[in-house]
A and B are shown apart, each in its own frame.
Chain A
Amino acid sequence: MSDSLTTPISATEQVLAVLPDYVSDVDVSPDGRHTVAGSVSGHVCIAGAGDESRIIEAHDGDVVRAKWSPSGQLLASCGIDGALRIWDRSGSMVAEARHKGWATDLAWRTSGDEVAAGIGRHVVRLLANGMKTVQHEELPATVECVTWSKDGRRLFAGHYGGVTMLQGSAKPVKTFRWKGAPLAVAASPDGKWVVTGNQDASLHVWKVADGSELQMTGFSTKVLLIAWSHNSQRLANAAMNEISEWDFSGRGPKGSKPIGMLGHSERITGLGYSPTDHTILGSVATDGSVCLWRPAKSGNSMLHSHQTRHVLSTMVWSPTSPRMICGTSNGEVVSLTFEEKSEKGS
């Protein structure tokens, strides 16, 4: 099996685990061997390669996020109970932080075993040894999304009113102000841009260096999903059943038109560039459809489409192989492995 895909492609489905209810988040460990999934039932499931899956009662109420640490030794979860918890691979809790309000998002720092979560109006940071590093000041509104810069120096928190940039001190370094409600935030891997997907059906883009901003509007619905390509040259976003890809090479996307991609018939719930073939963008939707794209300015961008029987609720790529892990509204954790079809047939 090669890491790079060319058509024709086949997809193999496998149910890895079943949780009691809607899967709100999935993640794959850096070595590609372990999957974690969180459910609105409050459970987190750890499924290893070959092992039986282990289900832990992680939160009182919905699990919002569940993510592996960069080392793959730990995982973090947060929920509407206002708790942020770090677990080891066997499912034992190793650290916990709580705050008033619901947790909305979490992100591991790329360096070190530190995790940040948005809980209520606070960004809470926690180390695996249980230490809370920086106690950041309360932000002006509920934190909807958090992300780290790739170098781990900066933390961005999206909230109504803009994006606040945090570093090592309690006070924010800077707030990129804008009168709107961000729902998802992503910093480009090169650290140059920070982008939010918003409630008012727009994307808002800031150049981190000087705070200059851009806005892309006209999407059919709010924008919950955004994804950067590994080289920061391209940004994809999804609104309802439509994907757009923006060219961030050179001077950026100002004045440019995106590549539009239509293949799903319902709401897209997962979007991301394949870590093993950077030219491929993957997406899943509530209609059960899974699409692979190779975005092209002219001609057809669709590389492959696959229909599952599930209402897909979220998706993540395996970092090591052409494999997607999806969550479903019924609690299944489904793996989809893509392979080139043998020309000869079998």
Chain B
Amino acid sequence: MSLTDNKVPVTVVTGFLGSGKTTLVNYILNEQHGKRIAVIENEFGEVGVDDALIIDAEEEIFEMNNGCICCTVRGDLIRILGTLMKRRDKFDYILVETTGLADPAPVAQTFFVDDEIRAQLRLDAIVTVVDAKHLSLHLFEEKAEGVENEALEQIAFADRILVNKTDLVTEEELVEIEGHLRTINASASVVRTHMSKVDLDWVLNVGAFDLQRVLEVEPTFLEDSEHLHDQSITSVGIEETGQVDVAKINNWLGWLLGEKGVDIFRMKGILNVAGSDNRFVFQGVHMLFDGQPDRAWGEGEDRVNKMIFIGRNLDRDEITQRFRQCLIR
């Protein structure tokens, strides 16, 4: 996915009920004068701006079994986006607002799996709005075995996180919240907002799924961060110099996607592959992987392998050790 083509960008807005998602969507619609924006919303919101097209959709999850890759997609989105793209007056931008309890994975995966959507639309970024006042409640909520904590997943999937309702908490609480957020998701950018007011350039046309922009945001790797007591979702960062062996790294990626794909929400990385003067960039959502050779390494540029994995029950040592075995000694 590249920003230079004519694909219409799609931003996915997630966040718990009451966090300020709809406020953000309304804010974007009001600020983006003259742009034709379509909003697909999944819960009865109060999105309303005269010149925007608002489509109410009912979330419909399809499990897809495509050869060795299993994933879920949003059937309703495929239908709606497919229809929108037939119109001559295409939209400049599409916003998808999920329900507060939505798992972002099926939404993101839809843009990888459906060929028609992939050809015409570009998933730009996942923006998550969190309620500063109630976030801790959601994070520490005890869930029964096998039940997902959607608040955590929405944070884990995010490229941009708005810590909203900052007026309701103290500075100390905000610092603590930001610490929690970085432990879960080290690669997302975080901003404090009031009434979801945010610089639109910061949430729109981010290019978070653009391979050319992989790791543009320098992840903050917290080596020994305090863990939330029920903290099963974390970020694992790898930063290693040296060249990787092509065959070994392919095996490693195969192992990672096959064994850990279910648990990995997002991944991004740059590799220094032996025998190539170009960076190899990749990104993925669960088992769906997208990678390609990128620009040449710069003169004097440190050829460092950099990766980040955000997921559930990730064993940092295991992933790192196995990666090191791919390095050419």
The chain A residue with its CB closest to the CB of B115 is A221
How many of A's residues come within 8 Å of B, CB to CB? 29
Chain B residues 48 to 73 lying within 8 A of chain A, measured CB to CB, are 58, 60, 62-67, 73
Residues of B65-90 contacting chain A, CB below 8 A: 65-67, 73, 75-76, 78-79, 83, 86-88
| Interface contact A181-B86, CB-CB below 8 Å | no
Minimum CB–CB distance from A109 to chain B (whole Å) comes to 25
* A329 at interface, CB cutoff 8 A: yes
- Assuming A142-B79, A240-B115, is B63 touching A24 (CB within 8 A)? no
- With A201-B66, A221-B115 known as contacts, the answer to whether A142 contacts B60 (CB < 8 A) is yes
Interface presence of A141 (CB below 8 A): yes
Cβ contact within 8 Å between B79 and A199? no
Residues of B within 8 A of A (CB): 58, 60, 62-67, 73, 75-76, 78-79, 83, 86-88, 114-116
How many Å from the CB of B86 to the closest CB on chain A?
A: 4
Q: Which residue of A lies closest to B78 (CB)?
A: A199
Q: Is A21 a contact of B62 with CB atoms below 8 Å? A: no
CA gap between A245 and B66 in the complex, in Å: 22
Which residues of chain B come closer than 8 Å to A181, judged between CB atoms? 62, 64, 75
A199-B78, A330-B88 given; A141·B63 CB < 8 A: no
Q: Which residues of A contact B73 (CB under 8 A)?
A: 199
Q: Are A62 and B62 in contact (CB under 8 A)?
A: no
Q: Answer whether A199 and B87 are a contact pair too, CB < 8 Å, given A142-B79, A222-B114, A222-B115.
A: no
Q: Given A142-B75, A199-B78, A240-B115, are A62 and B83 neighbors across the interface (CB < 8 Å)? A: yes
**Given A179-B65, A181-B75, A217-B67, 5 more pairs with CB closer than 8 A:** A62-B83, A142-B79, A160-B75, A179-B63, A221-B116
Can you give 9 A-B contacts (C-beta < 8 A)?
A: A21-B87, A22-B88, A62-B86, A179-B65, A199-B75, A217-B67, A221-B115, A221-B116, A313-B86
Q: A62-B86, A80-B83 are in contact. Are A142 and B62 (CB under 8 A)?
A: no
The 5 closest A-B pairs by CB, nearest first: A221-B115, A22-B86, A181-B62, A21-B88, A40-B86
Task: Report A-chain residues with C-beta under 8 Å of the C-beta of B83.
Answer: 40, 62, 80, 102
The answer to whether B114 and A199 touch across the interface, beta carbons within 8 angstroms, is yes
**Chain A: minimal CB distance from B75 (Å):** 6
| CA gap between A80 and B64 in the complex, in Å | 25
Contacts of A102 in B (CB 8 A): 79, 83
Instruction: Specify which chain B residues have a CB less than 8 angstroms from the CB of A62 in the assembled complex.
Output: 83, 86-87
Q: Does A319 contact B (CB under 8 A)?
A: no
Q: A142-B75, A329-B86 are in contact. Are A200 and B65 (CB under 8 A)?
A: yes
CB B231 to nearest CB in A, in angstroms, measures 34
